[in-house]
A = this chain, B = another copy of it.
Amino acid sequence: MKRRTSPSLSVFLASVLAPALVFGADVASSPWGPDDEIGRLNMITAESRKAALENLNPTSAYDLSVEYFIGMPSWQAAGDPHFQMWMTHTPKGTLVDDPLSVGDEMNAHVSYTGSAFTMYAHTGTHIDALNHFGLNGKIWNHFSAEEHLGDRGWKRAGVEKLPPIIARGVLLDIPAAKGLDELAPGYRITRDDIKYTLTVQGTDIAPGDVVLIRTGRMRQYSDGNRFMANAPGLGMEAAHFLAAEKQAMSLGADNLSFEAFPSEDSDNYVPVHTYLLAQQGVTIMELVNLEQLAEDRIYEFAFIGTPLKIRGGDAAPLRPIAIPYGSVQ
């Protein structure tokens, strides 16, 4: 896998490394100009896609998403809607209701099933757009809520602006490197954990990579309360290492809130989110199911993720896949 650092990226690196060291101050301007709404996803180019999709071994196509179901774990501390799905048409119900006025015989013959669903946008495997968290009333690239946020979402940096994400993906199986099944409750992943894991795995991170961090918390997914309680997550130094030093394009993890709580910064309850989204232009994926990749020790792969284009949204569900590299036997 060749590194894809281009001249323009070097300029970019220089421009973001400095402000990135000052956590919490204010949102950053985009190196891609005042109209930029997608941040690092600008690193996706014809060239980068070409590199990411070369030499595939699609013997497996790993499904990195979780299912949506009533009762699934979701973040409820701020009162957001749970996932719900319901039937709007059933074969039997259609016979009773005849919603299309086609009569009993037709309804008995044509068996219609329809359903609907609703969710907080941050439910299940999803990606946070750059408008999800900002600082001081503004988001990435200084777009303000005052000017750009209506009752139907943001006119700027909405999740519908995100392109299909096609990139080299890297799995960091932190617990495996540390000889654990999963990280301890509340454990905060350090910069050293990441460097150590890269060494153990024999992998490196190239600018533009999608980096997926396994905490092992997904092992508790079937028990919503255990899954949610005091999850391990990424620390600020580690986030800085990945985003600013390694120039990862997008980050993901297998837990629900990405970072660990309580926060390291007494002035900011989600400093890793605001740092990545508002200061580094780095989108965040949560509830990414990395168990099978980890079991098969697939640490590098083509990542393909296509978030639903919900206009103005601050997050969207997606069902990403990972396709390994290498020659097929």
- Chain A residues with CB under 8 Å of chain B are 24, 46, 49-50, 52-53, 56-61, 63, 65-71, 77-82, 84-97, 99-100, 102, 105-106, 108-122, 124, 131-139, 145-155, 160, 163-164, 166, 267-270, 274, 304, 306-315, 317-321, 323, 328
Contact = CB atoms under 8 A, between A and B. Distances in A.
Contacts of A314: 113-115
A138 to B, nearest CB: 7
Given A114-B121, A134-B111, A160-B67, A310 B86 contact: no
Nearest to A328: B50
Q: How many copies does the complex hold?
A: 4
A79 B70 contact: yes
Contacts of A166: 58, 61, 321
B67 A310 contact: yes
A274 B80 CA distance: 32
Contacts of A312: 69, 85, 115
Contacts of A68: 160, 308-311
B109 A136 contact: yes
A136 B151 contact: no
11 contacts: A63-B163, A65-B306, A69-B310, A70-B152, A81-B116, A90-B145, A95-B150, A97-B152, A111-B134, A111-B137, A116-B119
A105 B120 CA distance: 26
